[in-house]
Amino acid sequence: MFDILKMSISALLAHKMRTVLTTLGITIGVFTVGAITAIIEGLNSSFESQISMMGSDVFYISKGSWFGGYESWINARKRKPVDVDLADYISENAINVSATSPMVNRHRTLKYKDKSIESVEVTGVNHLMPMIEGTEIDAGRFFSESECRHRKNVVVIGENIRKEFFPDTNPVGEKIYISGHRFMVIGLFEKKGKMLFNDMDNRVQVPYLTFSKLFQRRNRGANIAVKSTSTAMLDDSKEEVRNLVRHYRHLKPSDEDDFAINQMNTLVDMYNRMTALLWAVAIGIGSISLVVGGIGVMNIMLVSVTERTREIGIRKSVGATRQKILFQFLFESMAVCSIGVISGLLLATGAAYIIHTFTPLAAKVPANWGILGAGVVVLVGLIFGMWPANRAARLDPIDALRFG
């Protein structure tokens, strides 16, 4: 068997250029599927499961829809901003709501001694936010209701901030500056990781009243995070809150909502739709180019069988059975395929590396690619090599010897 395999390979080496050109289709197919799976893999590793789990019972009231596209964004621009006091109004009046918090945010520069970090997401929230978001505090504590009410300059920092400012010291009790205002670090968030293009560890939270006082003179609007009593009650509480907001904003029954209720699930849905589309593209391009590539392989194998008719006659005259000739040509077509598959995988690995290096997306080569590639080799090689190989095996020895 090994000797037959060797024969196949030496036949391929005799026509290097032709072999490489033939495998181009397969190379492109494997590259496409490979590169797209690498991208999806990268997206998946960013979009950690905790994030997609997070907030399955949480929704956000905003001026506009997060995922509505350009038109709804234009629409939303004309609307009244969402008022931070709406949070209290909802928690006082809604039955199916366990907690609410305003969310106001800005990107600000943080300083500690001679170190500084630019463009950190500073969010003003109330004391209930960790409970709503399901965020753990690794060190220290979150701020209290009274600290919020008294507009205290206290801050809870994310993992990235700690790494930068306090690589080997306890951050709790230290003083940092946010846009020149002195804050005391009272707590440290657990590490959250990246969510899509957003680094969840590159943020700090402060009391929203402190935030309004220091960073937001003009009311530019807030989001309100609302946690329903349970995931099962989510739809009920959304409806209840919708009516409360309409009432709060004095909308007539005929008026449309001038606000939007958003959910992380929307993000998850969008993410799923996007990856499904990517998969469809991968499978579409992949299978088309594999079929095209397979036909190329079949064509080249037919040419090869014709060219080597005499060789086949010689082999039969010294005792090659039909099976052995069949195997020889099947191995050959699988070898052609494997050249295409290997170069496709190498290209895709290169692409994944480039994406990983030059974009925030952690594109990654899935470990099971080897198996996938081997599967493609066997499948395409066998399917498209069978006819030519069978033709070779069935040649009549005398006719074959007389050929050419």
Partner 1 sequence: MEVKSEKKVGENPEKTEEKNNMTGQNTLIKFDHISRIYQMGAETIRALDDISLTIHVNDYISIMGPSGSGKSTLMNIIGCLDTPTSGVYQFEDEIVCDMNSEKIIKMNDNQLASIRNKKIGFVFQTFNLLPRATAFQNVELPLIYAGIPRHERREKVLKALKDVSLADRSTHTPSELSGGQRQRVAIARALVNSPSIILADEPTGNLDSETSREIMVFLDELHRLNNTVIIVTHEPDIAAHAHRMIHILDGKIDRDEINHQKIKNPVNV
From 75-83, 192-200, 237-245, 310-318, span contacting partner 1 (CB under 8 A): 310-318
Shortest Cβ 368–partner 1 spacing (Å): 35
Instruction: Please report the sign of the dihedral spanned by the C-alpha atoms of residue 269, residue 270, residue 275, residue 276.
Output: positive
Q: Which helix (H) or strand (E) holds 348?
A: helix 322-358
Alpha-carbon distance values, 248 to 1, 63, 90, 242, 278 (Å): 81, 14, 9, 10, 42
Q: Which is nearer to partner 1, 220 or 310 (CB)?
A: 310
Q: Among 196, 314, 347, 383, which residue interacts with partner 1 (rule: CB under 8 A)?
A: 314
Shortest Cβ 32–partner 1 spacing (Å): 35
Could you tell me the end-to-end alpha-carbon distance of the chain, in angstroms, rounded to an integer? 29
Contact 378, 335 (CB under 8 A): no
Does residue 311 belong to the site contacting partner 1 (CB under 8 A)? yes
- CA 373, chain centre distance (Å): 22
- Interface residues for partner 1 in 13-42 (CB under 8 A)? 14
Shortest Cβ 331–partner 1 spacing (Å): 14
C-alpha–C-alpha distance, residues 198 and 117, integer Å: 16
Q: Among 107, 115, 247, 322, which residue interacts with partner 1 (rule: CB under 8 A)?
A: 322
Contact 339, 13 (CB under 8 A): no
Does residue 310 belong to the site contacting partner 1 (CB under 8 A)? yes
Q: Among 68, 193, 366, 397, which residue interacts with partner 1 (rule: CB under 8 A)?
A: 397
Q: Among 122, 320, 336, 376, which residue interacts with partner 1 (rule: CB under 8 A)?
A: 320
Does residue 219 belong to the site contacting partner 1 (CB under 8 A)? no
Does residue 253 belong to the site contacting partner 1 (CB under 8 A)? no
Q: Which is nearer to partner 1, 298 or 325 (CB)?
A: 325
- CA 99, chain centre distance (Å): 31
Q: Among 17, 95, 232, 318, which residue interacts with partner 1 (rule: CB under 8 A)?
A: 318
235's tokens: 């739809």
Q: Which is nearer to partner 1, 15 or 151 (CB)?
A: 15
Q: Is 224 exposed, middle or buried (0-12, 13-18, 19+ CB in 10 A)?
A: buried
Shortest Cβ 362–partner 1 spacing (Å): 48
Q: Among 69, 167, 253, 319, which residue interacts with partner 1 (rule: CB under 8 A)?
A: 319
Q: Which is nearer to partner 1, 12 or 148 (CB)?
A: 12
Q: Among 317, 354, 371, 374, which residue interacts with partner 1 (rule: CB under 8 A)?
A: 317
- Pairing status of strand 181-189 against strand 154-157: parallel
Q: Which is nearer to partner 1, 207 or 313 (CB)?
A: 313
- Which among 201, 173, 167 is positioned nearest to 187, based on CA atoms? 173
Does residue 251 belong to the site contacting partner 1 (CB under 8 A)? no
Does residue 233 belong to the site contacting partner 1 (CB under 8 A)? no
β-sheet bridge partners, residue 224: 61, 102
Residues in the chain: 404
> Mask: binding to partner 1, 324-363, rule CB under 8 A, as x and -?
x---------------------------------------
- Which among 210, 213, 196 is positioned nearest to 44, based on CA atoms? 196
Q: Which is nearer to partner 1, 14 or 276 (CB)?
A: 14
Does residue 242 belong to the site contacting partner 1 (CB under 8 A)? no
SS3 assignment, position 318: coil
Q: Is 402 left (phi over 0), alpha (psi -120 to 50) or beta?
A: alpha
Q: How many residues interact with partner 1 (rule CB under 8 A)?
A: 21
Alpha-carbon distance values, 157 to 173, 207, 210, 340 (Å): 12, 13, 16, 50
What residues make contact with partner 1 under the rule CB under 8 A? 3-4, 10, 14, 310-311, 313-324, 397-398, 401
